[in-house]
Amino acid sequence: MSIVTLLYPAFILAILLVFIHAIFGLEIIKRGVIFTDLAIGQFASIGVAVSLLFFDGAYSFGLTLIFALMGATLISVATRRVKHIEAFIGMLYALGASGIIVLLSNTTQGTELFNKLLATDILFTTTGDLIEPFLLYSLVAILFLKLYHRLTGLYREMLFFGLLALTVTSSVQLAGVLVVFVLLIVPAFIALLQNRFSRLPFAWVVGSSIIIIAMIISYHFDLPTGYTIVFIGSLVGIVLGII
């Protein structure tokens, strides 16, 4: 059995993740609020931790969405009212990260669960796992591309951060906070370094290539898939940025 036959569902999931996150990543870099996704991702992870700790994994999506929307609402309001927005978002990230540690500190699998929330192994995704993200990301992309540039003011901010929260709710559970951050920032960052090609399609191609190569490397060398994606994606972004 070839690696493509074995891992094609994971490759499709990787492309779906890059597709939706590159859309938001370009806007996040332009806004200069790089840690937005990390902060929302950490808040979303609190929902996952609460689900695991108090409900044995039940209600995971609902709880994750609630906490992600809390983080997104705070950031959308802060962008209009807080002077040093990056500092504010950094504090939200710290609050979310420490909240997860506090929640999981008294569990026997606390460290393992925390590592899973940061970077999940998506290598052995099944075809059944693709239906929900495909439908969700398609809906989010349509709403963003159709409505975002038509709105102004607080409504525009609420739409942006609300859709980002909905996306992160799904992707954090599928891939982990750090993987989501890399997929949001690295493809968009590389696309913004060049002016020859249209930026969004370029980000899709580059991001998909990076994550698939990272997954193949992790498979061949028996490495943790999530952290391999984070390492290779970050390394490529840093090297190209310097060059």
Residue 45 forms part of a structural domain? yes
As a whole number of angstroms, the distance between CA 38 and CA 1 comes to: 38
Is 186 within 8 Å of 51 (Cβ atoms)? no
pLDDT digits (tens, 9 = 90+) for 78-129: 877 877 887 888 888 888 888 888 887 766 666 667 777 777 778 888 888 8
Task: Give one DSSP letter per residue of 89-134, joined into a string.
Answer: HHHHHHHHHHHHHHHHTTSTTHHHHHHHHHS---TT--GGGGHHHH
Residue 228 forms part of a structural domain? no
Q: What is the dihedral of CA 117, 119, 123, 129, to 10 degrees?
A: 40
Residue 196 forms part of a structural domain? no
Task: State the total domains in the chain.
Answer: 1
- The domain containing residue 107 runs over which residues? 3-177
The pTM assigned to this predicted structure is 0.85
Residue 135 forms part of a structural domain? yes
Residue 29 forms part of a structural domain? yes
Residue 225 forms part of a structural domain? no
Residue 202 forms part of a structural domain? no
CATH number of the domain residue 125 falls in = 1.10.3470.10
pLDDT confidence bin for 185, thresholds 50/70/90: very high
- Number of helices and strands in the chain (H, E): 10, 0
Residue 153 forms part of a structural domain? yes
How many other CB atoms sit within 10 Å of the CB of residue 203?
26
